[in-house]
Amino acid sequence: MSKPVVLIAEELSPATVEALGPDFEIRYCDGANRDELLPAIADVDAILIRSATKVDAEAIAAAKRLRVVARAGVGLDNVDVAAATKAGVMVVNAPTSNIVSAAEHAVALLLACARNIPAANAALKSGEWKRSKYTGVELIDKVVGIVGLGRIGALVAQRLAAFGMKILAYDPYVQAARAAQLGVRLVTLEELLREADFISIHLPKTPETVSLIGEEQLRLVKPSVRIVNAARGGIIDENALAIAIKEGRVAGAGIDVFASEPCTSSPLFEFDNVVVTPHLGASTHEAQEKAGIAVARSVRLALAGELVPDA
């Protein structure tokens, strides 16, 4: 009898294939390339992806025997879960695999913005020893506004509390008791925007959160604010942010995610006080290994017809 086929559509940790074991035929494709993805998905039982592969209604329709879509990570915004469910395809993810990595990356971006590290690094390497130009700001006693106090937002809050920051959060789905436990004061988005010295976004991308922070919201912030987005592109409007930075209404930003990815040109790239990374929040060896092992386990169970427990 032939083995079930698992399609690996993005680069995943080698631990993924090890954890799948010998019972599957493993195939590979570049899931970001539709011309490769659509024929490759046609006759496989499971597909493993990160964030670059769009498993949308068209891909689901092309997949004649697909039983599982496994997302090695948290966000499911690149999977049409409704279309998959309608077609009887199970969607699994690894919701806790990379939360520490994502939180650490957000903190790294925040510190890089506060202390101008990338710009100073680039200047020094090009032969410029400029100390006063790159004077930064301290975190202690500053107010940080966390937009979205879920798993990652809570980890960011805990880490920034250790720097002596005062923490506000906007999250309509979080109970006051949970926030109090984290030493966080829940506020409205408007209060957060007006009071914060730093803002860090930790929301999933949904129709409700796209452009949550746009031109109107950026008119409310302090001109000294530094904004970090290591969640999903498009939650903060990149063009509105670029204009606010140009006009001196925002002091800096740390951006890991973009409305359209891969992103190799953006109005944000022209500013020294904007630190950018190419969607690296989950890109650590540890997170990739945990995500790969978690989804491999879910795929094994799902293809064996067993119950897939929540991770």
First to last CA, the chain: 31
Q: Which is nearer to ligand MLT, 108 or 282 (CB)?
A: 282
Give the interface segment with ligand MLT, choosing from 13-21, 162-170, 262-270, 276-284 (CB under 6 A). Answer: 276-284
Of the two residues 4 and 31, which places its CB atom closer to ligand MLT in the complex? 31
Active-site residue flag, 65:
no
Q: Indicate which residue of 232, 238, 289, 300 is catalytic.
A: 232
Report the number of secondary-structure helices (H) and strands (E) in the chain: 12, 12
Examine residue 98 and tell whether it contacts ligand MLT (CB under 6 A).
yes
**Active-site residue among 71, 279, 297, 300?**
279
What stretch of H or E contains 185? strand 185-186
CB-nearer residue toward ligand MLT: 49 or 274: 49
Tokens of 292: 């790969």
Verify whether residue 232 is a known catalytic residue: yes
| Alpha-carbon distances of 261 from 37, 227, 234, rounded to whole Å | 17, 20, 11
Question: What are residue 229's phi and psi, to 5 degrees?
Answer: -130, 105
Task: Judge whether 247 counts as a catalytic residue.
Answer: no
Binding of residue 75 to ligand MLT (CB under 6 A): yes
Q: Which residues contact 207 (CB under 8 A, 6 or more apart)?
A: none
Distance CA 310, CA 150 (A): 17
Instruction: Please identify which residue in 50, 67, 202, 226 interacts with ligand MLT, judged by CB under 6 A.
Output: 50
- Stretch of 69-77, 136-144, 191-199, 216-224 contacting ligand MLT, by CB under 6 A: 69-77
Q: Residues touching ligand MLT: how many (CB under 6 A)? A: 9
Stated as kind and residue range, the H or E segment containing 288 is: helix 285-303
74 binds ligand MLT (CB under 6 A): yes
- The encoded tokens of residue 114 equal 């506060």
Active site residues: 232, 261, 279
Interface with ligand MLT (CB under 6 A): 50-51, 73-75, 98, 279, 281-282
